[in-house]
Amino acid sequence: MENEEFVTSTINYTVDNGIPPDYYFYEPDPSIELNPPGTDPHEVKIFNGWPNVDKFSLDREGFELKSIDNTFDKYNDNDEIRNSFYPLIVEFVKQHTGAHRVEVFDHTIRKPMPADLKVQSEIQRPTVQLAHSDYTPKSGPQRVRELLPDEADELLKRRVAFFNVWKPLYRTVEEFPLAMIDDTTTIEEDKLIMELKYSDRTGEIYVIRYSPKHRWYYFPRMTPEQALLLKTYESEPGLSSSMGHSAFEDPTSPENAATRESIEVRTMAFF
């Protein structure tokens, strides 16, 4: 343990001050007391995961890194992504989780946004430098009911888990890599429900409050032939669920680092 490699960087946590964190996709009433996420930055050690890459478990730490077919290269064509890349992801998730059914429900391309683009799209967004996880015990089943309304009641009687698949597009990651919290180092109280306020509905995710017990990992210089599996929801008690993660500024990035471009595909798996 003493010789483990790590970098030190800032992770943006969220203050646990009794005011529920929230994020508005419209202008809220001025009388509402806000608690925006990510206002509690902390310097943390982020350990190199490569020496233990074969030891991490989706059901324990909440993440794994695996080799992936890299023949697909049409990331500028969303129809091609859905028609050709989604089936590849379905098989990848089945292979590494044992799920008998996997449904892909969306994807996001992460890359720098043009300076004159004021509103990000649903598909193309910048990196997220915020300790968070995508689903809660409420929003996970809600997503199943929204996407598979006729089957949801039966599907939710058995184990359901959500996995994000994250990989570089065309080149090695040299800046803003993804870091993951070992989920065995968190407690449920560290995960704060944050409501996502839309004009017509309200969703929720988890943001993370700081704890010195958190142990962060990353895999420096990931290539397009490698993909991270991230557990973002789990119905089975006792298994890793809603593992926290965040992009971060890597102090070892070269001055002329290639711009990070990645894709994140969200899936629901049924067992």
Kindly report the number of other CB atoms within 10 A of residue 129's CB atom.
Answer: 18
Q: Note whether residue 224 is domain-resident.
A: yes
Model confidence over 142-172: pLDDT tens digits? 999 999 999 999 999 999 999 999 999 999 9
Asked whether residue 149 is domain-assigned, the answer is yes
- The whole-number average pLDDT for the span 93-121 is 79
Give the pLDDT mean for 70-75. 96
CA distance 112 to 131: 19
Residue 243 lies in a domain: yes
Closest CA to 248 of 168, 172, 177: 177
**pLDDT (mean) for 34-47:** 94
Whether the per-residue pLDDT at 244 is higher than 90: the answer is yes
Residues 243-249 have a mean pLDDT of 97
Evaluate whether 271 touches 159 at the Cβ level (below 8 Å).
Answer: yes
Q: What is the pLDDT of residues 112-144, one digit of tens each?
A: 655 444 444 444 456 889 999 999 999 999 999
Predicted pLDDT at 203: 81
Full-model pTM: 0.91
Q: What is the pLDDT of residue 114?
A: 53
Question: Range of 19's domain?
Answer: 6-270
Mean pLDDT score of the chain: 92
Name the β-bridge partners of 43: 10
Query: Residue with structure tokens 């509103």?
Result: 119
Give the residue carrying structure tokens 């990931």: 222
Residue-wise pLDDT tens digits, 7-37? 999 999 999 998 888 877 777 778 777 788 9
Q: Where are the beta strands (DSSP E) in 82-177?
A: 101-110, 124-125, 132-133, 160-168
Please report which residue ranges of the chain form alpha helices under DSSP H: 78-80, 86-97, 139-147, 152-155
Give a yes or no: residue 55 inside a domain.
Answer: yes
The CATH number linked to 238 is 2.60.120
User: Residue type for 74, please?
Assistant: K
In a domain, 1, yes or no: no
For residues 30 and 95, the model is more confident at 95
C-alpha closest to that of 105 among 44, 177, 160, 36: 160
Q: What gap in Å lies between CA 241 and CA 162, rounded to an integer?
A: 9
Asked whether the beta carbons of 214 and 61 are under 8 A apart, the reply is no
Model pLDDT, residue 113: 56
Number of domains in the chain: 1
